């Protein structure tokens, strides 16, 4: 999948560093006028509702068996005046409706949830392993398909990862990954993974971009949510989703020390010259699974930093954010607290 919000990130990064506008001042795209997001969304939502009311899927297929694939999901157009065939369900009668605000516009998007998945759910900043197929609501053309599992960072850091469309950041964390996998002649089979279809307006996808072949394209993604990995973009020990301090599903607008580097890519979040990593307390847990030992349950504000497994013995290093002076601000975000845990311990 190409990078939906790539341009946005460039704008954000540019704005962070030199305060230039990506649109108004760029002579190359000076004559380009982007549609108003709210007006475009009205049209897009009508198109999607039309589609959902005139297409059905093979619902009874999923009532038996397990580990169905996205390729098993067959969506067909209902000819006018005809009844929905037995064993099928009209999409509009099967989808969940969700709302969200993005770039100051209100959006609706729709999810056909076929299997929730039995593992845990990724966060909006995580790396997900998926299989999927993307097509256009308007013409049905498939513009992207990944039958071989692909790893994608839901949110990019603008340096070496560039993130997915907003719809993915919203939808993927609402599904769970698999419970695990088995190997069958070298083929990996995932068990009980998230399986669904999302129907998304252009404003939560590529909007005026032409990644899919045309601008303002409303998209359908059939997908399998197979596995995920927690991402810590700056490697400071605090997972990126935790660095979204105001919990608005954006990591670009949280900048504790106002140095124009948002916390998720800032090694010293509070700007007190002690790195965030050094303001966290480390703990090493050794779990001998041969002895039936189980993994520790982590405290609030404690995060796994590394894990090594060797002959059934798991060594887990965690970091924990403390609030030493109990003022409600964690040390790594409190410029008045400059305890370096790594200095003291060595």
Radius of gyration of the CA atoms of the chain, in A: 23
Examine residue 248 and tell whether it contacts Ca ion (CB under 5 A).
yes
Evaluate the CA torsion angle 161, 167, 168, 169 in order and state its sign. Answer: positive
Examine residue 334 and tell whether it contacts Ca ion (CB under 5 A).
no
Contact pick of 3, 111, 153, 274 for Ca ion (by CB under 5 A): 274
The C-alpha angle 331, 335, 341, rounded to 5 degrees, equals: 45
Examine residue 224 and tell whether it contacts Ca ion (CB under 5 A).
no
Nearer to Ca ion, 125 or 218 (CB): 125
Evaluate the CA torsion angle 3, 23, 25, 263 in order and state its sign. Answer: negative
CA 144 to chain centre: 18
* Residue 30, number of CB atoms within 10 A of its CB: 10
Examine residue 254 and tell whether it contacts Ca ion (CB under 5 A).
yes
What 258-266 contacts at long range (C-beta under 8 Å, 24+ apart), as own/partner pairs, is: 260/16, 260/17, 261/16, 262/16, 263/238, 264/125, 264/157, 264/233, 264/234, 264/240, 265/157, 265/158, 265/159, 265/233, 265/234, 266/234, 266/236
Choices 38-46, 154-162, 236-244, 300-308; region in contact with Ca ion by CB under 5 A: 236-244
DSSP 109-132: EEEEEEE--SSPPPPTTSEEEEEE
Contact pick of 234, 281, 322, 337 for Ca ion (by CB under 5 A): 234
CB of 334 to Ca ion, least distance (A): 8
Contact pick of 14, 92, 105, 261 for Ca ion (by CB under 5 A): 261
Choices 3-11, 169-177, 217-225, 274-282; region in contact with Ca ion by CB under 5 A: 274-282
Choices 73-81, 168-176, 185-193, 238-246; region in contact with Ca ion by CB under 5 A: 238-246
Examine residue 250 and tell whether it contacts Ca ion (CB under 5 A).
yes
Choices 23-31, 54-62, 139-147, 258-266; region in contact with Ca ion by CB under 5 A: 258-266
Contact pick of 217, 244, 281, 334 for Ca ion (by CB under 5 A): 244
Nearer to Ca ion, 133 or 334 (CB): 334
* Residue 342, number of CB atoms within 10 A of its CB: 14
Contact pick of 77, 253, 288, 299 for Ca ion (by CB under 5 A): 253
Binding site for Ca ion (CB under 5 A): 232, 234, 236, 238, 244, 246, 248, 250, 253-255, 257, 259, 261, 266, 268, 270, 272, 274
């Amino acid at each position: 999948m190409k990078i939906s919000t790539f341009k946005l990130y460039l704008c954000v990064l540019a704005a962070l560093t030199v305060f230039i506008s990506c649109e108004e001042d760029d002579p190359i795209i000076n004559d380009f006028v982007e549609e108003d997001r709210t007006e475009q969304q009205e049209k897009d939502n009508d198109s999607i509702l039309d589609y959902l009311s005139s297409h059905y899927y093979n619902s009874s297929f999923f009532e038996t068996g397990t580990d169905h694939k996205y390729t098993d999901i067959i969506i067909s157009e209902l000819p006018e005046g005809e009844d929905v065939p037995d064993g099928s369900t009209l999409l509009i009668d099967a989808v969940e409706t969700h709302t969200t605000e993005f770039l100051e516009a209100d959006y609706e998007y729709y999810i056909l949830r076929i299997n929730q998945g039995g593992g845990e759910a990724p966060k909006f900043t995580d790396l997900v392993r998926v299989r999927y197929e993307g097509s256009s609501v308007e013409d049905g053309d498939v513009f992207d398909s990944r039958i071989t599992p692909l790893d994608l960072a839901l949110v990019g850091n603008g340096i070496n990862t560039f993130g997915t469309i907003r719809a993915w950041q919203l939808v993927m964390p609402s599904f769970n990954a698999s419970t695990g996998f088995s190997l069958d002649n070298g083929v990996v089979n995932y068990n009980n993974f998230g399986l669904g279809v999302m129907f998304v307006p252009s404003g939560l996808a590529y909007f005026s971009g032409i990644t899919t072949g045309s601008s303002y394209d409303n998209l359908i993604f059939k997908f399998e949510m197979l596995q995920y990995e927690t991402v810590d973009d700056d490697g400071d020990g605090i997972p990126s989703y935790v660095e979204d301090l105001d919990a608005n599903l954006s990591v670009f607008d949280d900048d504790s020390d106002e140095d124009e580097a948002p916390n998720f890519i800032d090694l010293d979040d509070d700007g007190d010259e002690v790195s965030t990593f050094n303001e966290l307390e480390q703990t090493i847990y050794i779990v001998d699974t041969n002895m039936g030992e189980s993994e520790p349950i982590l405290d609030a504000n404690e995060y796994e930093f590394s894990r090594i497994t060797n002959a059934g013995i798991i060594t887990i290093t965690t970091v924990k954010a403390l609030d030493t002076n109990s003022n409600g601000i964690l040390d790594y975000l409190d410029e008045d607290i400059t305890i370096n845990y790594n200095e003291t311990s060595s």
